Amino acid sequence: MLKKALHGLYSDYSFLLLSNIVNLISVPFILSSIGKEAYGIQGTIFQVLSHFTLLELGVGVFLIKIYQVHVKNEDHVGLNKTFSTAFFLYLFASIIVIILAFIFLIFLKEVIKTGNLAVETKYTFLIAVIWTALSIPLGIFNTILHAQQRLALVKSLLGIQALLNTMMIIVFLLLKFGLLSFGIAYLVSGSIISYLCFNSVKRGVINININRKLFEYSTVKSILKFTWEFGFAKIAALVKNSSDLIFISILYTVSDVTDFMLTGKLFMLLIMVAQRVPLVLLPGFGELYAYENYDKIYKYFKLLSYYSIRGGILIGLLILISNEYFVTIWVGKSNYGGQTLNFVFFLYFLKEIYFNSIGFILYSYGELKNLNKVSILEVILKVAFILILSRFLKLESILIGGILAGMFSTVLFYPLRICHSIGLNIIKYLKESIIQPIILSSPIIITYLIILLLKIKLNHINILVSIITLLILINVISFDFNFIKRKYKEILAKQLFS
């Protein structure tokens, strides 16, 4: 199982890297083809559509869990009934998506300030909605592949979809389809990948028959009973992580959406990479909790916290220093959101890196109910903080709202609850795993502050390379000398007594 997970993670990272390189290369062309406003509009449209997929309500997770039960019991009839019922529930959800989409069109101009692109925005949204509605029932084939532990194939197909989508956008832009290119590419690339998923399922070891006659109301109750609680968690996670562009579009302009997306590109890319690591570690921590091996949990929890902070500060500072130069040569200075936004992205990056490094431990512990409550609290606080801060700040209010909401909810709850679960003193944890790495990182933080005070202009590649090299060297020199000394003594002792 771990081997399959590692293979899936390797495929995921390979295609993530490739698709993002293609995306980075294509953005300047896309931006010059459609303009700043249209680029912001398409970003907002797809973030709005991501909220429509909430109607899936985590049914896929239920299917993955129940698939293993049916296969173990060799209950092929029960397996077909469950997946047939789920498929027709998905069809019902698709109809609701279409209805909601037409209702949303009434408020389209209030959510997305379309300007002269009102007609194009409307049709792009409608084309993309068609695929969003279709993707819910067709997603069942992806779920079956997940349930069959064919993770490498799933990740490969998703990676191919991302690449195919970007390439098709470029093709349709060259054919002068304008903003519509995004909706058409989304529909076509999604359809192709769904067909490949269906074909892969068809050729699988276990044949799953989806038939209207196998639909059961009792199975509907079982599905909804599981998804009710999970659905709230999914809603909270989506609003928390995928609503920033919508807030910017409502409160400010679609051009600001573009500045926000491009300024935060490197930060968000690395956060995305960090979010995938728990996929490998989650089963291992679940096993450690099952066998009550709290010493190992304590050890790994401290290490994950320590290195997420040290690594987060170093990598975050390197991006912070080089980001203006990167955005300028990538898409032009006019698309850079400014130093204040850049610095707030750095703070947001630190929070997310720490959060992702320890958050999965509570999922291993089985804290889903309490996690849901805390996530919902974070969403409420985030919306409240953004609405208050938007009166005084601009784009920074979106990120600061998220940071403050996290500090008063998940970031506070996670370490407290993990420490309680393994009997670790929270004060000891804070000293060893939070304060110590911050102190050890202080030399590079001070170096960055000196650069700011001296007003050194970071607009030349030679200056940037010199400063980045300096920061890395300082970080290496300021590493935990006690740890190095202790390891040296251990090696020396082995040599003396061997």
Q: Domain map of the chain by residue range?
A: 1-251, 264-277+289-498
CB neighbourhood size of 326 (10 A): 18
Per-residue confidence of the chain (498 residues) as pLDDT tens digits?
A: 445 555 555 656 676 777 788 888 999 999 999 999 999 999 999 998 888 877 777 777 778 778 877 777 777 888 888 888 888 888 998 999 999 999 988 888 888 877 778 888 899 999 999 999 999 888 888 888 888 777 777 878 888 888 899 999 999 999 999 999 999 999 999 999 989 888 888 876 667 778 788 888 877 787 777 776 666 667 777 777 788 999 999 999 999 999 999 999 999 988 888 777 665 565 566 667 666 777 888 888 888 888 889 889 989 988 998 898 899 999 999 999 999 999 999 999 999 888 888 877 776 666 666 777 788 888 889 999 999 999 988 899 999 999 999 888 777 788 888 888 778 888 888 888 888 888 888 888 888 888 777 776 766 676 667 777 777 777 666 655 444 445 444 544 454 444
Cβ burial of 66 (10 Å; 0-12, 13-18, 19+) is buried
Q: Which two tokens stand for residue 331?
A: 């898409």
How many Å apart are CA 321 and CA 452, to the nearest integer?
A: 10
- Tokens 């509907």 locate to 220
- What residues contact residue 34 under an 8 Å CB cut-off, 6+ apart? 42, 173, 178, 179, 181
Contact 375, 233 (CB under 8 A): yes
